[in-house]
Amino acid sequence: MTWLVNNWSTVLQALWSHLALAIPAIALSFVLSLPVGWLAYRYRWSRFVLVTGSSLIYAIPSLPLLIVLPALIGTTVRSPVNVVVALTGYGMALMVRSTADALDSVNRDTVISATALGYSGIRRLIAVELPLAGPGLLAGLRVVSVSTMALVTVSAVLGIPSLGTLFTDGFQRGIVAEIVTGIVSTAALAVLVDRALVAIGWLLLPWTRART
């Protein structure tokens, strides 16, 4: 406890860095998976390639990826951009499938009804299909969020600060309190972000709470 009291500003710094890496990656995974997931949903034949292909990203080990990435995208080895790009890839590996499944789950009769009312294709997608896919999208996003919050810690190995820095530093210097702080705060932050996503869903998807 003494360690935490003396080093709270370090922990807070690490926490902000952690969020600064994780939140953009989570947001980008969500946004970039929308068009890919939509293609997989709209064009059946593309589904296998897109869903399986993006899932395979998850099989790439993170450390080698983070080392190779700067050469591929022209960043420096210690740039936070590498971490965000890699984590966005891992996020999309999960989110593309969720997006396609969520769109699939929208009742066909409802889509037919919307077409009969005179929604054009793009307008129907934005105003009907995407909102109704909301619960499925949210479920996928929550998995991506928890996974990303945990994966960010790997950045510490490359010298990019995050809550993972508390493990690496703690191990090197033999400070158990620092390691424990790293683990607990990573988990707590993941739960907090998850709760925030649930709250956003509660606000944006009011009909899912409609009493029947």
Cα separation, 63 vs 71, whole angstroms: 14
Q: Is 59 one of the binding residues for another protein (CB under 8 A)?
A: no
Question: Which listed residue (76, 116, 172, 203) binds another protein by CB under 8 A?
Answer: 116
Phi-psi region of 175 (alpha: psi -120 to 50; beta: other; left: phi over 0): beta
Sign of CA dihedral 162, 166, 171, 172: positive
Q: How many CA atoms lie within 13 A of 86 on its CB side?
A: 28
Least CB distance from residue 192 to another protein, whole Å?
Answer: 28
Question: Which listed residue (12, 31, 112, 126) binds another protein by CB under 8 A?
Answer: 112
Question: Which listed residue (131, 139, 183, 194) binds another protein by CB under 8 A?
Answer: 131
Cα separation, 33 vs 154, whole angstroms: 23
Q: Is 104 one of the binding residues for another protein (CB under 8 A)?
A: no
Q: Give the interface segment with another protein, choosing from 35-43, 70-78, 114-122, 172-180 (CB under 8 A).
A: 114-122
Binding site for another protein (CB under 8 A): 107, 109-110, 112-120, 123, 128, 131-132, 134, 205-207, 210-212
